[in-house]
Structure 1
Amino acid sequence: MNEAKAELRQKMRERVKQCAMTGGDTSRQFLQSIYAIPGIEGTDTVFAFFPYAGEPDITPAISRMIDEGRTVAVPRITGEDLTFHAINSVTGDFLPGAFGIPEPDSSWPTLFPEQSHLIRFPAVILMPGLAFSREGSRLGRGRGYYDRFLSDFLSHFAERRREITLAGVCWEAQIIEDIPVESHDIRVNCLCTEKNCILI
């Protein structure tokens, strides 16, 4: 299975870059797709991300959510894990992380895991990936950051699971028929593309 995943990852990395090169400015379409997530209007806390290597640009959606008074957090790589820090702007004094992705400084408020008591529900977790299936399976970049984060988060808030929406954000071309899955893989509840929001 590892060989199959490695081969698929290489193929999808090229597809993501191609989508970014030919897709034009689709940030408004992704904003509309994210705002079509069921229950998004009543969501108090959003975990988001800054794009990397051709991933969709969702910064307009992040900005709008901040303006609306929601708590928005983005990840920082800390060792082998992701810590999510609350932000109040997409143009803050971010630092380039291990992969060149803008990250909050370690001194910024850590919403998860340190201050998880400040998380308000319902919550939405927007996450990138190299590929998704229409059944909700996700193929990451292979380092397991989101796998570990989701496992910890959903375990910590097991009693609030129905109030947590996992949303994959991807180009339409990243949705494929078959993704090799393992027992620890966690499925998303919906997919947000440049065309629409697909419910799983």
Structure 2
Amino acid sequence: MTDPALEAAKADARLMMRAERAALEPGDSSLKLIENFPLELARLSPVAGYWPVGGEIDGRPLLAALAKAGRTIALPRMESRAGPARFLAWRGSEALTADAFGVPSPPSTGADLSPRLLLVPLLAFDRAGGRLGQGGGHYDRIISLYRAHGCIAAGLAYAEQEMDAVPTGPHDAHLDWVITPKEAIQCARGEGLRGRSA
């Protein structure tokens, strides 16, 4: 059962944060993510990233740096709009094809991977690990599924996407870390294996 007040608060926050993100100039933000990326996360592999859409911060240079350091990289593929997502190996040179949402993804014939680190897109975050996504709940389900296997969830965002408190409910998965062009935040309420290295 949904909470109408919570859903209204999320809708208002999404409207505000989409406008905030649209006004941002990316500049060298993608490179700053690499500078701020914690060593303990950089040791984990496989790493699941995402293909940026709709103004999401571009984590592809970070994925390239992790691949260069010997980490195995995966990207999600949604075979249907209902999910679930598959994480498929990606070496950066293979041609991508559109998934059920039209997002560039590795072909469905690729090797399935179980990530130890999930790099997650978002609209807004708070320092307790609250995350506001697009509203489909896909990443909430993904984080919950892989967290059960010891995976760590790290959001990638612009610093301007921070809120004092993201409106969240009982089914919203929290982040363990948020990496911005200004800092790496180890979240107070993250539920994964914070501080664990490979």
The interval holding the TM-score normalised by the smaller chain is 0.7 to 0.9
How far the C-alpha of 1:143 sits from its partner, in A, is 0.6
Alpha-carbon distance in 2 for matches of 1:184, 1:172: 25
Per-residue CA deviations over 1:91-143 (Å, capped at 9, x if unaligned) read: 420123344421111111121xxxx4xx6xxx221101110011110011001
Is the contact made by 2:78 and 2:101 (CA closer than 8 Å) also made in structure 1?
no
- 2:36 matched residue in structure 1: 33
Count matched residues. Answer: 180
- Matches of residues 110-149 of structure 1 in structure 2 within 5 Å? 110-111=112-113, 116=114, 123-149=116-142
Greater per-residue helix proportion:
1
Matched, 1:151 2:144: yes
- The residue number in structure 2 matching 1:23 is 26
Higher strand share: 1
In 2, the alpha carbon distance for the partners of 1:11 and 1:3 equals 12
The CA deviation at 1:144 is 0.9
Change (3 A) 1:38 1:189: farther
1:46-77 Cα distance to aligned partner (Å, 9 max, x none): 11111111111111111122222211111111
TM-score, reference length from structure 2: 0.84
When normalised by structure 1's length, the TM-score is 0.83
Residue in 1 aligned with 2:109? 107
Could you tell me whether the CA contact under 8 Å between 2:42 and 2:66 is conserved in 1? no
Q: CA RMSD in A?
A: 1.6
The CA distance in 2 between the partners of 1:25 and 1:50, in whole Å, is 18
Structure 1, unmatched stretches of 5+, are none
* Cα distance per residue 1:167-186 (max 9 Å; x no partner): 11101010101211111222
The answer on whether the counterparts of 2:79 and 2:100 sit within 8 Å (CA) in structure 1 is no
Q: Is 1:94–2:81 an aligned residue pair?
A: no
